[in-house]
Chains A and B, each alone.
Chain A
């Protein structure tokens, strides 16, 4: 039904962002969004009306991702981002794109479990309880993953800033 497709298409950007965090690759992310949307349409009637759409989609996307890639190390942080085929990039036209890209790279180089927790809470605005439900872990685990993720991003950002300051003088 067109109504379903429209409701799904409204979630495109949200799903695409999560797919980027999961796959760390532009074309893999697009494939994952496409697969997830198609599956969501097929499974629409199985979703209980009490289940909110977005967490349902996040869980579905995650399951698809896990079953697809569980045999490869490609999307784990064991491969540096710049060795991926198509690393996600903020377009150069966007203000501060160079700095944002450096941050994006550092974020996508975090261990998978940390970047997923950080993504759901920090970017999509999920509560710890919602993120815990989507990832199937305890709320305290979400908190500690975010804590570790932020600690490395903070450290990296102070490291990254130093050479930049030097180049100004």
Chain B
């Protein structure tokens, strides 16, 4: 091999060499280079020494083992048939028809949205008290929110979309109180559903965005709903469909 045709050894190669991230061929070239360049060889040796010392330092840190008590799920996973029904409902929702509107909202919607987004921002980062009533008390949560919102209340099951219920809380609203439900996914990303009695708005899904949070909102039977999260627009829209279908009182009676 003619060494003059080789790509010169660069910073990147030296970094990758230490981490074993080079192809076998490139590795040989770096090794040849190191034999002739004392400074580079010293530097690599030093990086390796630091890497070894760091490992030693971290492995010496004392660890207290965490205490793990597996909590029982409040509700068992739905049987396959029910999962199918939820998936079917999701599909119906998708085809039931929606349009996206530009983000200019009439003032009434703007107030609703800013409340929903503020509630999301406040509680989605909360570690100790993310919810007022936890998912373990799902039945109590549904009854309580139903009484305070003065409507039959059924908590949407979003497990088919990979989200589990964390719980919910009641929040002050302009005239009537509002409810917030919180869910999280396998990676711990949180999604909130916010609803309150509100003047009749559009039944269509509308989109809003504020910082990293995106929301879809819609109205139905005198209530306005928002689903908010740091998720892709499509994923949120799928959730909005799923939630709308499950909140539909006609469907809930079935």
Contacts and interface: CB of A to CB of B under 8 A. Distances in A.
Interface residues of B, number: 43
Contacts of A35: 127
B68 A146 contact: no
B117 interface: no
Interface in A32-57: 33-35, 37-39, 41-43, 45-47, 56
Contacts of B51: 122
A123 B54 contact: yes
Contacts of A41: 68, 70-71
Contacts of B125: 67-68, 70-71
B164 A42 contact: yes
A147 B57 contact: no
A39 B125 CA distance: 15
B106 interface: no
Chain A CB count within 10 A is highest, among B57, B61, B164, B185, for B57
B248 interface: no
B68 A147 contact: no
B252 interface: no
Interface of A: 1, 4-5, 8-9, 12-13, 16-17, 20, 30, 33-35, 37-39, 41-43, 45-47, 56, 59-60, 63-64, 67-68, 70-71, 88-91, 94, 96-97, 99-101, 103-104, 107, 118, 121-123, 127-128, 143, 146-147, 150, 153-154, 157
Given A60-B187, A64-B188, A147-B12, 19 more contacts: A5-B68, A9-B66, A12-B65, A33-B66, A34-B66, A38-B66, A42-B71, A43-B188, A46-B162, A56-B186, A67-B124, A67-B188, A97-B60, A103-B50, A103-B54, A122-B51, A143-B12, A150-B50, A154-B46
